[in-house]
Structures are given as C-alpha cells and as structure tokens.
C-alpha cells in the first residue's frame, strides 16, 4: 500500500498524517497544541483569511468564528509531539476542476501552523516532512482499526512499546487517555468542550458505534487488528 493516494476522491474515507522534518517535534508547548487544534477548525472552510487577522487581532474565540461551508468532515484526530493523524472524508465535488477539498484543507492547515511556528520560534524553512501522507480507507475493518490506532497513539508517551508488546495495564491506559487533551478521544466520550466542533459525527460510517462502547471497540480492534497496517 502506497503512503500517498494519487487521487483524493469525494465520499471516501482517508487517513491523513505527517510529522516534523527529521522527526523533530512540531509541538513544543501547550500553546502550540492549542493553536493547531484551533487551526483544524478554522481552516476547514472555503473562505480565505489570515488566522492572526481574523482570530487573534480580532480577539474572538476561534470556535465561534463564522468559517462558512467546510471543505471536509473530520472524523477523528490526534496530535503527538512530532506528528499528527486525521481521519476525514470530503463530500464536496462542486469546487471546480483541479481543486481538491482535502488537499486544500491540508494546505491551509499546514501553512497557517508553519507561519505561526516559524514566527514564534524565530526559524525559517519547512517544518513538516514534505507533503502530507494519505491512505485510503476502503474496508470496514480497516476503518475501525485506524480509528483505534489514532486514539491509542498517545499511549506511546506512557508505554513506548505498546504496539509491539501490547498494553500492559488497560486501566492505566484508559486513565491516561482520559487526561490527554490533544485528540478527539474525549469528544467521543461525550465531554462537552469547544473542540467538539472540529468533528462531524454525522459523517461516521453507519456501522460505527456512536456511544461510549467505542472504548471497548478501540482496544478490541487494536488487539485483533492487522499489525501490518500500523503507521510508524
């Protein structure tokens, strides 16, 4: 399976990911994580605007910003110190020839964050390891597996070898995930927070559990999933 699908087509699910150039960290403090999270919401729009001008200088909450029609439906996401994962789908096919909603969304997200990061840390040049990577999600089992993998990714910060050797303490793992703010895990738990607005729950597959039973599901899918599909 290639790491980049040539055609990002409407009404298909994709796993999108990227990491820092040279595997360097792209989130150095809480402000960095929070800025990227806000960008995920604000930049999911047909409109063009500057985050600093529209949000920071205007002194408004990013999650109440009138962004207009979204480009994609984000279904899950996680931020890690040196990389991120997003599962999304775009129903849009009306934006003109040569204009891909997913590519445009990721271009806007990457550009906005790199501008912020480079200015804050007084650096220049690329931040990410090339263009974003994508994998088409065409099977029910694969969707469930990748959804599980995305939300369990933070466990690497608690137990580095969990992918290879399994999760040693499930209760401890759940407690850790319950406190990790930089993913959509808490949104699926039903916690009320502004980040809820990033997701479009209605765009989830019909077969997907839309209640707290997903906690059991993500551990089951990882345990019995396809290890060859793990993303490094």
* Domain boundaries, given as residue ranges, for the chain: 13-133, 139-192+205-229
Phi, psi angles (nearest 5°) of residue 134: -140, 145
Give domain 13-133's CATH architecture: 2-Layer Sandwich (3.30)
| Tokens 């765009």 found at | 203
Q: What is the pTM of this model?
A: 0.87
Residue 198 has a pLDDT of: 97
Residue 82 has a pLDDT of: 97
Residue 224 has a pLDDT of: 42
Q: What is the mean pLDDT of each run of 10 residues along the chain (232 residues)?
A: 59 95 96 96 86 69 85 97 97 69 94 94 93 89 86 92 82 90 92 95 81 64 44 39
Residue 231 has a pLDDT of: 40
Residue 53 has a pLDDT of: 64
Residue 98 has a pLDDT of: 65
Residue 143 has a pLDDT of: 86
């Amino acid at each position: 399976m290639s790491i980049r699908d040539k055609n990002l087509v409407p009404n298909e699910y994709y796993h999108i990911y990227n990491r820092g150039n040279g595997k360097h960290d792209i989130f150095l403090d809480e402000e960095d994580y929070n800025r990227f999270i806000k960008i995920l919401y604000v930049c999911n729009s047909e409109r063009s605007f500057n985050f600093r001008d529209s949000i920071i200088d205007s002194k408004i909450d990013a999650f109440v910003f009138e962004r207009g029609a979204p480009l994609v439906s984000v279904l899950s996401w996680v931020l890690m110190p040196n990389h991120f994962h997003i599962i999304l789908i775009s129903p849009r096919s009306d934006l003109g020839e040569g204009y891909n909603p997913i590519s445009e969304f990721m271009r806007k997200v990457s550009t906005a964050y790199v501008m912020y990061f480079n200015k804050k840390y007084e650096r220049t040049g690329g931040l990410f390891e090339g263009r974003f990577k994508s994998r088409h999600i065409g099977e029910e089992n694969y969707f469930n597996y990748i959804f599980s993998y995305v939300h369990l990714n933070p466990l690497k910060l608690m137990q580095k070898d969990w992918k290879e050797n399994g999760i040693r303490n499930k209760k401890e793992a759940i407690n850790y995930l319950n406190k990790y703010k930089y993913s959509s895990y808490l949104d699926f738990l039903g916690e009320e927070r502004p980040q809820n607005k990033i997701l479009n729950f209605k765009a989830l597959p019909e077969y997907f559990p839309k209640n707290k039973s997903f906690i059991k599901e993500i551990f089951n899918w990882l345990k019995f999933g396809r290890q060859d599909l793990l993303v490094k």
